[in-house]
């Protein structure tokens, strides 16, 4: 058995609640034995399940500190998906313990913090990666690095947090080098555009109840519309454990930094709707 520890801002959130079952399903499919055995959370969610209650429900041992968790487990998930402002603080603790963690999306609150986390990892000689699960949509694999134009749609509870998924999809297909972004809003639909100096282009439409989908055109002018129905979270879990076992990431860290750079500028563009901002 190899043990997994969860570090979170508060544990009663969707990722912490769902990842144990996904890991169990991964074990059953692959004949492995990864077990979520330890957890640490900074606080109890107000008015919700406490850390102790969550640990009892999931059969997990509560740790009193991140250092204790890192000392006891083989692998670390840094969660707090809705609180990226906590990731630098948590990563510093984990890196100092010599662990190579997976850090959940959204990776960082801004581009500067994202670069600081990478610098810390280099200082401590550790590795990590971070991604939105939508990078792992099988439907996008054929367009990775070959797309010229992509239009995505998707939903969630709010634009600032959930647009990360569409940006991740766009960067997977288009790559890095975005030049400028623009934001607009029409009723309950929020739009972000990303332009590249060589003609690559992304359009992202966010609306609360929209399922994820994409229309992609490649550099030869061929296009297709795809609904995102593949098991992208299962694919993410598989890649996390591949990273834990090999130390290898499946994509360049430059793409994670690109995602954070675009996200920061798109959110800034909300206050300057209709105006192009340089990335």
Q: Which residues contact 231 (CB under 8 A, 6 or more apart)?
A: none
Classify residue 108: in a domain, yes or no.
yes
* Residues 70 and 166 grouped into a single domain: no
Over 90: is that where the pLDDT of 145 sits?
no
Q: Which of 79, 102, 130 is the C-terminal boundary of a domain?
A: 130
Q: What's the whole-number average pLDDT of the chain?
A: 97
Over 90: is that where the pLDDT of 234 sits?
yes
Rg (CA), the chain: 19
Question: Which residues share a beta bridge with 201?
Answer: 149, 195
What DSSP state is assigned to residue 176? S
* Residues 83 and 144 grouped into a single domain: no
Q: Which of 130, 162, 177 is the C-terminal boundary of a domain?
A: 130
Q: Which two tokens stand for residue 195?
A: 């332009």
Over 90: is that where the pLDDT of 211 sits?
yes
pLDDT for position 244:
98
pLDDT for position 265:
98
The domain that contains 168 carries what CATH number?
A: 3.30.360.10
Over 90: is that where the pLDDT of 223 sits?
yes
Q: Which two tokens stand for residue 129?
A: 């990666």
Average pLDDT over residues 4-31: 98
Cα-based distances in Å from 158 to 71, 193, 210, 233: 37, 17, 12, 20
pLDDT for 98-140, tens place per residue?
Answer: 999 999 999 999 999 999 999 999 999 999 999 999 999 999 9
Over 90: is that where the pLDDT of 219 sits?
no
- Percent of all residues in the chain with a pLDDT value above 70, rounded to a whole number: 100
pLDDT for 58-93, tens place per residue?
Answer: 999 999 999 999 999 999 999 999 999 999 999 999
* Residues 48 and 117 grouped into a single domain: yes
Over 90: is that where the pLDDT of 221 sits?
no
Tell me the residue range of the domain where 30 lies.
2-130
Q: What whole-number distance in Å separates Cα of residue 182 and Cα of residue 196?
A: 12
Residue in 90, 88, 78 with CA at minimum distance from that of residue 19: 78
Average pLDDT over residues 242-251: 97
The domain that contains 85 carries what CATH number?
A: 3.40.50.720
Q: How many domains does the structure of the chain reveal? A: 2
Q: Which residues contact 261 (CB under 8 A, 6 or more apart)?
A: 111, 114, 178, 279
279 pLDDT tier (thresholds 50, 70, 90): very high
pLDDT for position 170:
98
pLDDT for 255-275, tens place per residue?
Answer: 999 999 999 999 999 999 999
Average pLDDT over residues 38-51: 94
Cα-flanking dihedrals φ and ψ of residue 206, to 5°? -110, 130
* Residues 180 and 81 grouped into a single domain: no
pLDDT for position 194:
98
What DSSP state is assigned to residue 145? T
Average pLDDT over residues 159-169: 98
* Residues 180 and 89 grouped into a single domain: no
pLDDT for position 48:
87
* Residues 80 and 213 grouped into a single domain: no
HSE, CB side, 13 Å, CA atoms: give it for residue 273.
6
What DSSP state is assigned to residue 63? P
* Residues 172 and 100 grouped into a single domain: no
Q: Which of 79, 112, 130 is the C-terminal boundary of a domain?
A: 130
Q: What whole-number distance in Å separates Cα of residue 132 and Cα of residue 106?
A: 7
pLDDT for position 216:
97
Over 90: is that where the pLDDT of 184 sits?
yes
- Percent of all residues in the chain with a pLDDT value above 90, rounded to a whole number: 96
Classify residue 239: in a domain, yes or no.
no
Question: What's the pTM value of the predicted model, to 2 decimals?
Answer: 0.96
């Amino acid at each position: 058995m190899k043990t997994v520890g969860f570090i979170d801002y508060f544990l009663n959130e969707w990722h912490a609640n769902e990842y144990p079952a996904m890991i169990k399903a991964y074990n059953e499919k692959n004949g492995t034995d990864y077990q979520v055995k330890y957890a640490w959370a900074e606080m109890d969610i107000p008015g919700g399940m406490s850390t102790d209650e969550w640990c009892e429900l999931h059969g997990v041992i509560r740790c009193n500190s991140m250092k204790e968790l890192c000392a006891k487990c083989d692998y670390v998930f840094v969660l707090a998906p809705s609180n990226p402002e906590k990731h630098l603080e948590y990563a510093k603790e984990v890196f100092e313990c010599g662990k190579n963690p997976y850090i959940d999306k959204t990776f960082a609150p801004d581009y500067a913090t994202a670069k600081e986390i990478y610098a810390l990892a280099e200082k401590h000689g550790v590795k990590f990666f971070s991604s939105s699960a939508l990078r792992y949509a099988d439907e996008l694999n054929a367009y990775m690095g070959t797309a010229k134009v992509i239009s995505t749609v998707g939903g969630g509870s709010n634009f600032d947090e959930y647009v990360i998924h569409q940006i991740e999809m766009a960067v997977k297909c288009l790559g890095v080098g975005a030049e400028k972004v623009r934001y607009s809003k029409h009723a309950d639909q929020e739009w972000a555009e990303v332009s590249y100096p060589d003609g690559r282009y992304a359009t992202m439409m966010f609306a609360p109840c929209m399922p994820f989908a994409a229309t992609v055109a490649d550099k030869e002018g061929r296009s297709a519309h795809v609904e995102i129905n593949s098991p992208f979270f299962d694919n993410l879990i598989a890649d996390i454990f591949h990273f834990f076992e090999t130390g290898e990431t499946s994509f360049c860290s430059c793409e994670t930094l690109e995602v954070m750079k675009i996200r920061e500028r798109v959110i800034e563009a909300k206050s300057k709707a209709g105006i192009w901002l340089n990335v």
